[in-house]
Structures are given as C-alpha cells and as structure tokens.
Amino acid sequence: MSVTRFLPRTAVAGLAAAVLLGTAACGSGFDDDKSDTGQESGPASLQILIGSSGAAETKAVQDAAAKWASSSGNQATVTPAQDLTQQLGQSLAGGTPPDVFYLDAARFADYASVGALEPYGDKVSNPDDFYESLRQAFTYEGKLYCAPKDFSTLALQINTDLWQKAGLTDADIPTNWETLTAAAQKLKAKGITPLALGDTRDRVGAFMVQAGGWLISEDGKQATADSPENLQALQYVKSLLTSGLAQYPKQLDAGWPGEAFGKGSTAMVIEGNWIKGALQTDFPNVKYTVHPLPAGPKGEGTLSFTQCWGIAAKSKHKDQAIKFVEAMTAGDQQMEFAKAFGVMPSRQSVRDQYSQAFPADKPFLDGADYAQGPVNAPKMDSVLSDFDTGITGLPSGDPKDLLARMQKNMEAALKG
C-alpha cells in the first residue's frame, strides 16, 4: 500500500474538488438526467482509473481485470493515474469520466453530493459482508454508493532494539494513555525520543476516538468538534509534545513518522500497515513489533483509511461495471490483492484467511472493529486543512480555541 496515499493532502486535491463542485454548480451537473437511456448493450470496453502504489499493484489489478474480461467477453483497460484526485476530478467535471475508479473515503462525499457517482453499493453480492465502518464511509444520504476495495488502520510500532536499550520489556508495552506516558518517560530518561507522531488529524484524530469524541456525527450532518472528549484528547497530545515525550516528524528531520522510525530516531510510531512495505524497502534492518493503539478514557480507538470502487453516474456501461466490481471485491480476489501489494481485504468473510496468511498484521485487522473513518460530509477540504494547520501548531496553541474554530468552520460548511 502506498505510503503517500495517506500522507497529508496537497493543495491540488482541493483544486480538483473545486473544479468538480464548481462545474456542477454552473448547471452541467451530473444528475441532470436520472434515466439510463445512455446505456449501451452488448460487450463493453471499460475504462478503469486507479491510484497505484507501484508496479506490484498495477500488475495485480491489470491481471485481475484481464481475467475478468476474458471470462465475461468484455474489455477492461486499467490506467494508473499520475495524480488520481486531479485526473478524476477533471474527468468527472468534463463529462468524460472513466467507468470505474478508485475513490478515497476522504473525497467520497464531495462526489456523491453532486451526483457524480452511481449508487450501486447494494447491487453487489452480500454488501453486509463489508466491515460496518467501511460501509459507513461510503454511505451518503442513507445509500451505500460503492463497494470498499480494501482498508488500513493505525497501530503502534515499537523498535525492539531501542526498547531493550532503554531497559524496557513486554510488560512496558503501553495499553492505555497512562502506560503510554510511563513508557515514554522511561525512554526519554535514556535519551531516546519516545514517539514520532504525524501532525495531522489523520494521526492525532485517533486520540479523539479513544476519548470518545470525533469531529462529526455519524450521519455527517452535525459538527461535534467542540466537545469535552475532543478537548481531553488534544490536551493529552499537547502534553506529550510539550514534555518531549512525542515529536512531530519535522522535529526529527523526517518527512513522515515512518522515516523517523526507520532511521532509529524514535522508539515508537503510530502508523498504518503501509509502514511494512516502506520499512522493507528503505530500512530493511529495523526490528519492530506491532501492537494495538493504547486505549483512551473511553476505550480502544483507531482510524481507518479506505477506498472504494467508484462507478461514474455517466458511465454507459453500468451493468458491466458493477459486474467488474463484483469480481474485484470477491473474497478470493481480495486475498490475491493482499498477497500482491499488502492491502487488507474489506470483506469480513476472509478475515480468518487473511490472519492466517499475515499473522503480524493482526493489530491492524482487529482495529476494523473499532475504527473511525474520515469526515463524511462534502465541502470540508479547506475546513480540514485549516484544522491540520492548527494541529501543527498545537505545542504552542490552545486546544480549546482550535476546537472552537473547527466547530464554527464545520457548521458553516454544513450549512452550505
């Protein structure tokens, strides 16, 4: 799985969304014609756009598509995007979208809200087999729009050499905030940076979930940022940062926490299962173990990152596109993808099979049961970017002011 897929989002993402939403607002919207009169019968030539993590993923998807095409009598062309968000936004806005495409949960509501997507989710076999948190990530106005293709969660990675160097044992592995603080203090006392923490909501947000909070209501209609639970979480994270028990990557001369971890600059890091491939490639000699994130005052909590197989509302081959997605999300095919490029299957029915094949990933997989997905409301890109800026300045900032600003901005965005 791509590391960059889950790193902080760039300005071009916001630009692409603006192009998409602006075009819809100007009257060339995607849902002007609700009928299927544009559907073509007979064999289809599907265009599939993916955001690939590399050669292994591209080959795996192309091979799977070729297999489906051969057995179904259709054609399927898989194209890896140079910049998926930009290319997808422009093609949807321009009225010439691919039939099927990867769609990130963080962008999903923007597209669903303007009618760009075909809401086919319930037409795929056994949609209840997808993890509930993943179904929720792709549900808008009560409809499951698209089938989750795979997912990742956050867990705690520990450098075993640094752990032992500080005199720590398995008994010191943190299971809650109290023991996280205790272990971090012991590491700091030995001159070891305890924890590298990403400076965005995509990492700090896990502490909010552990405190019983989150930024938005489950239905995506109410802002819930300015809550006692979120305040408690940010105050705790700030205490870690100001006491030197945690540091942001830039303080460790690293582009992301995994790099700091690979260089041996920190004993602990909070990252997703994509870190496995990154370490194998760039830091193959690092020895580490993976554990569930420490629980907070309200229990276990982590964040999930997922994409779905989107189908364009303007596709002329919707029936064939749905059949293609059906094949791509079958349990056996998802296991093939897992073996090829390290993703976790979105279907619960292959959970045991995945655990047996990849026992070290159990903490990531178990996180599916209590994971929180991204903010599921449209027009939130600038609001969330502003919040990330506030998190970057959290060591010297006021958590209460940050949450109050987020609440105000979210409420304004939700009102449209």
* Residue 84: Cβ-neighbour burial (10 angstroms; 0-12, 13-18, 19+): buried
Are 298 and 355 members of one domain?
A: no
pLDDT in tens, 68-89: 999 999 999 999 999 999 999 9
Domain of residue 246: give its range: 154-303+378-414
User: Which one-letter DSSP state was computed for residue 312?
Assistant: B
* Cβ neighbours of residue 59 closer than 8 Å, sequence gap 6 or more: 340
Cβ atoms 303, 156 nearer than 8 A: no
- Taking alpha carbons only, the member of 104, 144, 141, 109 closest to residue 128 is 144
Q: What is the C-alpha to C-alpha distance for residues 336 and 299, in angstroms, rounded to an integer?
A: 34
Please report where in the chains the tokens 């002011």 appear, as a residue. 401
Name the β-bridge partners of 305: 152
Are 293 and 309 members of one domain?
A: no
Phi–psi pair at 378, nearest 5 degrees: -75, 165
The torsion region of residue 73 among left (phi > 0), alpha (psi -120 to 50) and beta comes to left
Cβ atoms 265, 196 nearer than 8 A: yes
* Cβ neighbours of residue 344 closer than 8 Å, sequence gap 6 or more: 150, 151, 152, 153, 273, 338, 354, 361, 364, 365, 368
- Taking alpha carbons only, the member of 238, 212, 236, 240 closest to residue 224 is 212
Greatest CA separation for the chain? 70
- Taking alpha carbons only, the member of 43, 35, 62 closest to residue 321 is 43
Are 16 and 77 members of one domain?
A: yes
- Position 43 scores a pLDDT of 87
Q: DSSP 3-state assignment of 41?
A: coil
* Cβ neighbours of residue 47 closer than 8 Å, sequence gap 6 or more: 77, 79, 98, 99, 100
- Position 42 scores a pLDDT of 65
Are 46 and 96 members of one domain?
A: yes
Are 388 and 355 members of one domain?
A: no
Are 265 and 181 members of one domain?
A: yes
Q: DSSP 3-state assignment of 195?
A: strand
Cβ atoms 131, 368 nearer than 8 A: yes
- Taking alpha carbons only, the member of 361, 293, 402 closest to residue 1 is 361
Q: Which residues of the chain have pLDDT under 70?
A: 1-38, 40-42
Are 409 and 288 members of one domain?
A: yes
Are 299 and 159 members of one domain?
A: yes
Q: What is the C-alpha to C-alpha distance for residues 413 and 44, in angstroms, rounded to an integer?
A: 40
- Position 175 scores a pLDDT of 98
- Taking alpha carbons only, the member of 386, 372, 109, 104 closest to residue 218 is 372
Are 175 and 286 members of one domain?
A: yes
Are 268 and 394 members of one domain?
A: yes
CATH of the domain at 21: 3.40.190.10
- Taking alpha carbons only, the member of 4, 83, 82 closest to residue 256 is 4
Structurally, the chain folds into a number of domains equal to 2
Q: What is the C-alpha to C-alpha distance for residues 203 and 271, in angstroms, rounded to an integer?
A: 8
Are 117 and 95 members of one domain?
A: yes
Model pTM? 0.88
Length of the chain: 416
Are 313 and 297 members of one domain?
A: no
Q: Is the dihedral of CA 294, 300, 303, 309 positive or negative?
A: positive
